[in-house]
Amino acid sequence: MAHFPYRLFHAKFDILLDRVPTIGKILSFVFGAFEYLILEVFRFLDDKLNINTIKIVNRYVFKSRWGGKIIPLNLNIDLETKFLPSQEILALLSRSKVTGISNCYCRETQRKHSDMPNCDHPINTCIHIGFGKSLREIPYKSENLVKVSKREIKQLLEECDRRGLVHQLIYFPNPMFYYVVCNCCPCCCVVMSKFIKNGSPQMIKSDFIAVTDFNICKNCGTCEQRCNFDARKLKNRKLYFNADFCFGCGVCVSTCPEKAIILRKKSKF
């Protein structure tokens, strides 16, 4: 159960959400419906007041209840690894009521208000969930699932993975409840870029870690270029890996020319 033990009221609220998940799903749905407007207000205040609105609001209003949880694509996971449907993006989406794919607010807004785009990644990359979903339901209630076509979604996710975009569940009111799946770049994504710069809003690591077989690694540095979290550094032509910085997104796996990297499930969470 996700909870915040350092604030008694919030810990009790998470207990309530765990016991009555419908409340969390409704809150997630409502927040998702107004997210565009909320982010536009934040952007306006940032421009006019020259402040980091999200950091302030997340600290004093949201209190880390809004952010992203990283979920990798199964193509990057070790074939011998057993994982729950809630731990891999395609399996998770097959158990969610996907309503469609829409434009990424972050990349669209950046290009709308700038003469030069930060990147050449596509805009139509956000996968929307029809009603707020609880991760607690995903691994266990697999009967009576709503069937959804995964072909277009699978193609989108594989293309995003090829580009090095990070798959995130954007959650509210706690990490158990999500309303959209985003494919994020550090140069545009509000959640990811703000987290990398100042740690707010909150981003949660996946249940996996990228393991390198240094016996076949050629220290080419390709994975260093793909890593958004500084977990991989090439120093004096030798690769160094900081496991504490690894978020288990898997984007380093698919482009390793020696196939020396794989995602493996963490032994403890």
19-49 confidence digits (pLDDT tens):
999 999 999 999 999 999 999 999 999 999 9
Report whether 98 contacts 169 (CB < 8 A): no
Name the burial class of residue 114, with classes exposed (0-12), middle (13-18) and buried (19+) by CB atoms within 10 angstroms of its CB.
Answer: exposed
Structure tokens at 166: 């990070």
Structure tokens at 127: 């996968």
What is the C-alpha to C-alpha distance for residues 128 and 130, in angstroms, rounded to an integer?
A: 6
Task: Return the residue matching tokens 């009521």.
Answer: 97
193-214 confidence digits (pLDDT tens):
999 998 889 999 999 999 999 9
What is the C-alpha to C-alpha distance for residues 17 and 25, in angstroms, rounded to an integer?
A: 9
Radius of gyration, CA atoms only, the chain: 19
Structure tokens at 218: 């050629």
Q: What is the mean pLDDT of residues 228-233?
A: 96
What is the C-alpha to C-alpha distance for residues 129 and 264, in angstroms, rounded to an integer?
A: 27
57-114 confidence digits (pLDDT tens):
988 888 889 999 999 999 999 988 888 889 999 999 988 888 889 899 999 999 999 9
Q: What is the mean pLDDT of residues 178-196?
A: 94
Report whether 49 contacts 42 (CB < 8 A): no
Domains present along the chain, CATH in parentheses: 9-204 (no CATH), 206-269 (3.30.70.20)
What is the C-alpha to C-alpha distance for residues 135 and 173, in angstroms, rounded to an integer?
A: 12
Q: Tell me, what's the pLDDT at 167?
A: 97
What is the C-alpha to C-alpha distance for residues 189 and 132, in angstroms, rounded to an integer?
A: 21
Residue 148 has pLDDT above 70, yes or no: no
Q: Tell me, what's the pLDDT at 77?
A: 94
Residue 139 has pLDDT above 70, yes or no: no
Q: Tell me, what's the pLDDT at 120?
A: 96
- Nearest-CA neighbor of 134 among 27, 266, 4? 27
Q: Tell me, what's the pLDDT at 6?
A: 41
Q: How many residues does the chain have?
A: 269
